[in-house]
Amino acid sequence: MNRRKSDNKKISNEKRIHTPFTILPDGRFAEQAFDDKKVFFIVYNRLNLEKPFSKADSVQGMNGETYYPIDNNEVRKSIVYLPSDIVENPGTIEELFIAIKNLLDGVHESPNELERNIDVLYILLTYFSDLLPIVPYRRIMGKYGTGKSRWLKAMVQLCHRGIKVSGCSTDKALVRLLDKWKNPTAIIDEADFGKSDLYSFITKILNVGHDRNLSFYHRCEENSTTETKSYDVFGPKLLATRKSYWDTALESRCITFYGHESERNLPLYLPPKFELKAQELRNRLNCFRLMNYSKFREKIKELYDPEKAKELFGEYKISKRIQQVLFPLQLIGDDTIKEMLCGIARKMHERIMVQDEEAELEVLIKEVILDLYEDVLKDGTKELGELTTGRPHVELEIGEISISILTRQGLKEIKPNQKQGMSRKVIQICRTRLGIEPKIAKNKARIISLDGSENFLRKDEQVPIGSSVSSLVPEENPNEEGEKEAVEKLVITPEQQKHIDSLKQPQKGVKKTKNN
């Protein structure tokens, strides 16, 4: 009797945590699985070379907590798609790529091979999305009967922890699902939410759910006026819409393609054998994820290197938002995939330019201001302001900028009302997009004042994150040639030069040499 009481006390004191995935203190990974009978963890131990995979009903944490897989209706009724078994040899990424592509082609007709390749890349990316700082959305857009629902049903069964949220009737149900399953791949069909009260809420979730640092939805607790609860809604999402989003910021987060009516004789419904093959692929993809999780975590560091992004997108003028969306996909593939991403980036950029009337004008205004600024520097006749930032202080008239823009747009004879209209647009964009506040000069002309610190005027002077001026200077006794080579890597401002000079002062206890 007493022994039974002590056992019950142990169980009650145990800290039970239900989760679909955890990293254990000894470096093992545990991912939830379900085999139609019971839930369990697939545990991967990379240090155990003979038998790296095993199954466990629960796993022990560092501080006495015990982790259990989630077991509820969402699992039992296939609302969330999970792996069901271990695959010791899941294959290479090339083999998985081909297997996914062939399976999708058998049930859905893509408009072209490029879009199908993006589908496959996106599926692969979802298996490492919990490591990414930014995750894009994959979207199909089209009218009724263009294969949107078929595409969603097929894709969600192959993505990592794919989850169906279309049955959610309240915002609470939606955010709790996303938070509970830790960065799942959610499918959102506009047809399910378009005319409901949840539509504006869904838009809010999409606006924050792409960025790991911003992806929290906060709401007040029901029975408290002071406490709030936060739900993590970060993760990849598959979207189906009939038209573009009115918010261009949200639009730029989507990798979109247009659906069309199938020309091939495809099955009217997803056949049972598709679900079986999808399950087999999920098993392979999950084991591939666990085997490559540590390697991919190291590779993620490339995302923080600005030179890598420049190397991928080259000299193309692609917006930073679109680069953020597409850049993670290049971690999955080879050089062929990188070329493909450049083409997608240009298409997305053009689409955003068409939707956002001011975006294209903003690019043109930046080009004109930069050209006029450099013309003033070359022209020795104009009086320049004080050197406050290491570069000359220049004033440009709004009217002059407007005339240059209209001329580049092809106007030969510029009427006063055209100049006035363009001037208003230039003032608006300078104020709201470029962070430059126009002023009134002594001669009553409207001007903008530039001191050289504006981002688009000093592209070559930016230092990558993690670098510093001191890292460019040798630590001890630099010789003349080494010092010159290091310093020439940056355009040094007067303030930076002072810092460099201070670094070159001999430390106490260090004997002076000729090079000092």
Is 85 domain-assigned? no
Range(s) of the domain holding residue 336: 300-355
367 and 424 co-located in one domain: yes
DSSP secondary structure, 263-289, as one string:
-S---SS--HHHHHHHHHHHHHHHHHH
Q: Return the H-helix or E-strand segment holding 487.
A: helix 480-487
User: Which of the two residues, 147 and 198, has the higher pLDDT score?
Assistant: 147
Q: What is the dihedral of CA 365, 371, 374, 378, to 10 degrees?
A: -150
DSSP secondary structure letters along 331-373: GTS-HHHHHHHHHHHHHHHHHHHHH-HHHHHHHHHHHHHHHHH
**79 phi, psi to nearest 5 deg:** -75, -30
User: Residue 325: which of 345, 350, 353 has the closest Cα?
Assistant: 345
User: 447 and 389 in one domain?
Assistant: yes
CA distance 350 to 409: 17
Residue that has been written with the tokens 């001037």 in this structure? 423
Answer whether residue 516 is part of any domain: no
Between helix 335-355 and helix 357-378 the angle, nearest 10°, is 100
Instruction: State which of 428, 443, 459 marks the end of a domain.
Output: 459
Q: Would you say residue 95 has pLDDT above 70?
A: yes
Give the pLDDT score at 13.
Answer: 61
- Average pLDDT on 316-325 reads 73
The string over 237-269, giving b where at least 16 C-beta atoms fall within 10 Å of a residue's C-beta and e elsewhere, is: bbbbbeebbeebebbbbbbbbebeeeeeeeeee
- 252 and 278 in one domain? yes
| Chosen domain end from 407, 435, 459 | 459
Q: In this structure, is residue 9 part of a structural domain? A: no
Question: Would 126 be classed as within a structural domain?
Answer: yes
What confidence score (pLDDT) does residue 313 get? Answer: 78
87 assigned to some structural domain: no
pLDDT, the chain, mean: 80
* pLDDT over 90 (residue 363): no
Quick one: residue 444, left, alpha or beta (phi over 0 = left, psi -120 to 50 = alpha)? left
Residue 327's pLDDT is 81
Are 230 and 310 contained in the same domain? no
- Does residue 515 belong to any structural domain of this protein? no
Domains in the chain: how many in total? 5
User: Residue written as tokens 């629902």?
Assistant: 149
234 and 334 part of one domain: no
H-helix or E-strand containing 31? strand 29-34
- Residue 78: alpha-carbon gap to chain centroid: 28
Last residue of a domain, one of 308, 330, 355: 355
> Could you tell me which residues are beta bridge partners of residue 137?
237, 254
In a shared domain, residues 179 and 282: yes
Examine the domain organization and report whether 72 and 190 are in the same domain: no
Do 178 and 107 reside in the same domain of the chain? yes
- What CATH number does residue 168 fall under? 3.40.50.300
List pLDDT tens digits, range 424-447. Answer: 999 988 888 888 889 898 888 899
Residues 155 and 277 in one domain: yes
The segment with the largest mean pLDDT, out of 77-81, 132-136, 408-412, is 77-81
Q: How crowded is the C-beta side of 24, counted as CA atoms within 13 Å?
A: 22
Q: Is the pLDDT of residue 7 over 70?
A: no
Q: Greater confidence, 381 or 421?
A: 421
- Which position has the higher pLDDT, 411 or 159? 159
Residue 171 in domain: yes
Please check whether residues 337 and 381 belong to one and the same domain: no
The tens digit of pLDDT for each residue in 102-118 reads 999 999 999 888 889 88
> Which positions ≥6 away from 295 have C-beta within 8 Å?
none
**Which helix H or strand E contains 479, and what residues bound it?**
none
Q: pLDDT-derived band of residue 474, with 50, 70 and 90 as boundaries?
A: very low
Residue 412 has pLDDT above 90, yes or no: no
Does 371 lie in the same domain as 279?
no
Is 86 part of any domain?
no
Residues 109 and 127 in one domain: yes
Tokens standing for 168? 């959610």
